[in-house]
């Protein structure tokens, strides 16, 4: 007759323990213990099939009482489970915990941290086990082992029979390496995006257009290789007029592939043309059997291509390749899509800077001319009056005055010639000249935002088209300025330090009912429902940060036109 499996019965009621043992004798060989300590000693044996706890429920043999079964629930948990004594030594553990341990030695009897090789404790609780034992409440923390392994530990105190305070800790150990590394990579991509876009005009004022492009390309290659760990990269930009995909950055690609003429078309232009035409990412797991793939990197066996998209506008494509088939995963796709968004923003910033560089000379000339126009006119007028007095009487004085008058009149032409001489010479400008917007010229705009970068951008972008921009740090300051000066339109953030966008909108309208107001919000975040309430009160326009320059200009232009119409109706 086969030996029955042994089952451990623990309880403090002899009558219930005895009744439970009698009911289990047909299927098990009961082992009765009277304390947790003696039960744990038995539990370490391999021939204990399970544990029953008597006196937990009214049913003598509740289903929930079969807590620990060899080969059962706790043995099959995907997380490590371990029982520690008050000295933090391991009394019992399941197989998964043994797999997580970084040592080959048996964990029983060893200190918890010893089996992980003295890991770094990252918190939030830096003494989770002592906290659990001392406070009687659960505690948690995160352990880091090496650079790429992270474990989350949840410690729950246990009070054994015969004790008045917790004297053991049940610890759940979960491997969170994958999600932690993924979050670290996401954070790194976000930081990389900030650095890609770090092309502030004041820092690279002296750089040529080509130098700026090379700076951005070097940053992209650096982050693609070091952060995403992709060795091969190709970026192409769409020529909006011809739909040709012009190479911007090529690293690790064959020359034939780099020089290949491609267009943003779904057929006949490889994976790159398909992605540029459809705006859909494409994961090629086996280049040898993919009908769209055209040879790119040497010995490439798989590729991943994503679109460069900014506000639903396809700027180009970002392609990486590998010599291994199936080298790219869905995570790689997600990371590259996120990184490509940052690249698209950086390219848009570069476009604005290049456009600014190309127009700097003419804008500077216009600014200088505006500044010198009045004094030059005064000099000419004064010289003409003096010349009239001396002409025909003092030839020498008259000759000198005529020279002064000529040189004064030449000043504007000389300024214009100098401006043309210092303008950058670009054979193929990366972006066309932006159209003029005469409706914005000389319009006075008030911008209320506590973000200095937003206020600076408003000066740069709107001032470029002739607007007179003034800014306020908060709502109260904006209201003071609106009461003191006349504005054609107001842009206000919905989260000002001292009031909501709705409150600012209402108070501006109380002072000037027809004043056009545009509310701004980041990524549609509006916890106070300012936009909804302001729309109900008459708000016409909303800008969602980060907004494109053309969106900003269109909204401000529409607001100024509305102000003009209101003024006409008022007359």
The mean pLDDT value for 208-214 works out to 66
In the predicted structure, residue 374 carries a pLDDT above the cut 50: no
Give the DSSP letter of residue 119. Answer: P
What are the backbone dihedrals phi and psi of residue 308, each rounded to the nearest 5 degrees, phi first? -95, 110
Indicate if the pLDDT at residue 475 is higher than 90: no
Least reliable range by pLDDT among 154-158, 504-508, 516-520: 154-158
- Are 194 and 337 members of one domain? yes
pLDDT (mean) for 496-510: 90
Instruction: Say which CATH number the domain at 488 has.
Output: 3.40.50.2300
Cα–Cα nearest to 217, from 66, 116, 318, 325: 318
Per-residue pLDDT at 222: 73
Same domain for 413 and 455?
Answer: no
Q: What is the mean pLDDT of residues 339-351?
A: 75
Mean pLDDT, to the nearest integer, of 443-464? 80
pLDDT band at 350 (very low <50, low <70, confident <90, very high): low
Task: Please give the Cα distance from 210 to 492 (Å, whole number).
Answer: 37
Percent of the chain with pLDDT over 70: 68
- Could you report the per-residue pLDDT of 289-301, keeping only the tens digit for each? 999 999 988 888 9
Of 350, 352, 358, 353, nearest to 420 (Cα)?
358
* CATH code: domain of residue 335: 3.30.450.40
The CATH number given to whatever domain includes residue 17 is 3.40.50
Do residues 227 and 189 touch, judged by C-beta distance below 8 A?
yes
For residues 226 and 188, the answer to whether their CB atoms sit within 8 Å is no
Residues 222, 285: one domain? yes
Return the CATH number at 97: 3.30.450.20
CA atoms within 13 A on the CB side of 6: 12
In a domain, 429, yes or no: no
The more confident residue out of 319 and 227 is 319
Highest mean pLDDT out of 52-56, 337-341, 410-414: 337-341
pLDDT tens-digit profile of 149-160? Answer: 889 898 888 776
The pLDDT-based confidence of 36 (bands split at 50, 70, 90) is low
Q: Which of 19-23, 72-76, 108-112 has the lowest mean pLDDT?
A: 72-76
Distances in whole angstroms, Cα of residue 267 to Cα of each of 25, 145, 270 = 74, 49, 7
| pLDDT for residue 363 | 58
My answer on whether 509 and 456 are in the same domain is yes
Give the pLDDT of residue 67.
43
CA angle 78, 80, 82 (to 5 degrees): 150
Q: Would you mind telling me the total number of residues written for the chain in this entry?
A: 571
What is the C-alpha to C-alpha distance for residues 199 and 347, in angstroms, rounded to an integer? 10
Q: Which residue has the higher pLDDT, 220 or 569?
A: 220
pLDDT above 90 covers what percent of the chain?
A: 9
Q: What pLDDT was estimated at residue 382? A: 56
> Domain for residue 430, yes or no?
no
Q: What is the CA radius of gyration of the chain?
A: 37
**In terms of domains, do 61 and 119 share one?**
no
Taking the model in full, what pTM does it have? 0.45
**Does 270 reside within a domain?**
yes
pLDDT digits (tens, 9 = 90+) for 82-115: 888 888 888 877 778 888 887 778 888 888 888 8
Q: Do 99 and 169 reside in the same domain of the chain? A: yes
Residues 50 and 114 in one domain: no
Quick check: 127 pLDDT over 70? yes
Higher pLDDT, 52 or 146: 146
Are 155 and 138 a contacting pair, CB within 8 Å?
yes
As a whole number of angstroms, the distance between CA 302 and CA 286 comes to: 5
Contact 494, 521 (CB under 8 A): yes
301 and 221 inside one domain:
yes
475-484 helix and 501-511 helix, angle to the nearest 10 degrees: 10
Confidence band (pLDDT; 50, 70, 90) for 66?
very low
Query: Does residue 205 register a pLDDT over 90?
Result: no
Domain, as residue range, for 334:
185-354
The predicted model gives 21-26 an average pLDDT of 76
* Residues 234 and 324 reside in one and the same domain: yes
| Residue 67 token pair | 């807590």
Residues 327 and 220 both lie in one domain: yes
Please report how many Cα atoms fall inside a 13 Å half-sphere around the Cα of residue 356, on the Cβ side: 22
Average pLDDT over the chain, rounded to whole? 75
pLDDT band at residue 265 using 50, 70 and 90 as cut-offs: very high
The verdict on whether omega for the bond into residue 124 sits within 30 degrees of 0, i.e. cis, is yes
What was the pLDDT predicted at 2? Answer: 62
What is the pLDDT at residue 292?
A: 92
- Please give the Cα distance from 143 to 113 (Å, whole number): 10
Is residue 432 assigned to a domain? no
pLDDT at 433: 46
Per-residue pLDDT, averaged over 477-482, amounts to 78
Instruction: Please choose, from the candidates 479, 543, 463, the residue with its C-alpha nearest in 3D space to the C-alpha of residue 515.
Output: 479
Instruction: Say yes or no to pLDDT of 201 above 90.
Output: no
Report whether pLDDT(531) > 70: yes
Instruction: Answer yes or no: is 431 within a domain.
Output: no
Check whether residue 288 and residue 273 sit in a common domain.
Answer: yes
The conformation of residue 306, written as its DSSP 8-state character, comes to E
Q: Which residues contact 479 (CB under 8 A, 6 or more apart)?
A: 504, 507, 508, 511
How many domains does one find in the chain?
5
> Are 194 and 331 members of one domain?
yes
């Amino acid at each position: 007759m086969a030996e029955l499996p042994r089952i451990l019965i623990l309880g403090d009621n002899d009558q219930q323990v005895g009744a439970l043992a009698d009911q289990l004798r047909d299927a098990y060989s009961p082992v009765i213990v009277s304390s947790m300590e003696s039960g744990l000693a038995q539990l370490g044996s391999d021939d204990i099939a399970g544990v029953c706890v008597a006196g937990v429920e009214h049913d003598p043999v509740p289903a929930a009482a079969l807590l620990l079964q060899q080969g059962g629930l706790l043995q099959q948990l995907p997380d490590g489970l371990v029982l520690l004594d008050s000295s933090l030594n391991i009394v019992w553990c399941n197989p998964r915990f043994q797999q997580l341990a970084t040592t080959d030695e048996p964990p029983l009897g060893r200190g918890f941290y010893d089996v992980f090789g003295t890991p770094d404790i990252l918190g939030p609780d830096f003494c989770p086990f002592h906290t659990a034992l001392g406070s009687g409440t659960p505690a948690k923390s995160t352990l880091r082992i090496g650079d790429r392994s992270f474990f989350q530990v949840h410690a729950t105190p246990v009070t054994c029979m015969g004790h008045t305070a917790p004297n053991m800790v049940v610890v759940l150990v979960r491997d969170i390496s994958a999600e932690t590394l993924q979050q670290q990579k996401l954070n790194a991509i976000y930081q990389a995006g900030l650095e890609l876009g770090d092309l502030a005009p004041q820092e690279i004022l002296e750089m040529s257009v080509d130098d700026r492009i090379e700076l951005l390309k070097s940053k992209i290659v650096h982050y693609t290789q070091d952060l995403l760990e992709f060795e091969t990269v190709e970026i192409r930009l769409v020529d909006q007029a011809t739909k040709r995909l012009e190479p911007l950055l090529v690293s690790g690609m064959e020359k034939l592939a780099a020089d290949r003429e491609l267009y943003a078309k779904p057929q006949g232009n490889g994976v790159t043309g398909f992605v540029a035409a459809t705006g859909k990412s494409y994961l090629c797991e086996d280049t040898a059997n993919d009908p769209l793939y055209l040879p790119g990197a040497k010995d490439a066996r798989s590729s991943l291509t994503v679109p460069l998209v900014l506000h639903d506008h396809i700027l180009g494509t970002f392609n990486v390749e590998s010599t291994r088939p199936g080298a790219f995963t869905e995570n790689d796709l997600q990371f590259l899509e996120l990184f490509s968004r940052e690249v698209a923003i950086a390219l848009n910033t570069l476009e604005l800077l290049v456009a600014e560089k190309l127009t700097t000379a003419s804008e500077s000339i216009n600014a200088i001319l505006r500044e010198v126009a009045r004094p030059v006119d005064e000099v000419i007028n004064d010289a003409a009056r003096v010349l009239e007095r001396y002409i025909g009487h003092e030839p020498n004085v008259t000759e000198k005055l005529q020279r002064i008058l000529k040189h004064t009149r030449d000043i504007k032409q000389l300024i214009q010639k100098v401006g043309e001489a210092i303008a950058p010479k670009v054979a193929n400008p990366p972006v066309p000249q932006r159209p003029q917007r005469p409706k914005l010229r000389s319009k006075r705009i008030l911008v209320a935002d506590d973000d200095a970068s937003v206020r600076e951008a408003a000066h740069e972008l709107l001032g470029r088209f002739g607007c007179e921009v003034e800014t306020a740090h908060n709502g109260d300051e904006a209201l003071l300025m609106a009461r003191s000066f006349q504005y054609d339109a107001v842009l206000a953030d919905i989260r000002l330090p001292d009031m909501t966008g709705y409150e600012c909108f209402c108070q501006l309208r109380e002072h000037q009912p027809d004043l056009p107001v545009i509310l701004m919000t980041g990524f549609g975040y509006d916890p106070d429902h300012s936009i909804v309430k302001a729309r109900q009160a008459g708000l016409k326009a909303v800008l969602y940060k980060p907004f494109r320059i053309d969106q900003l200009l269109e909204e401000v232009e529409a607001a100024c036109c509305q102000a003009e119409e209101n003024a006409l109706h008022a007359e």
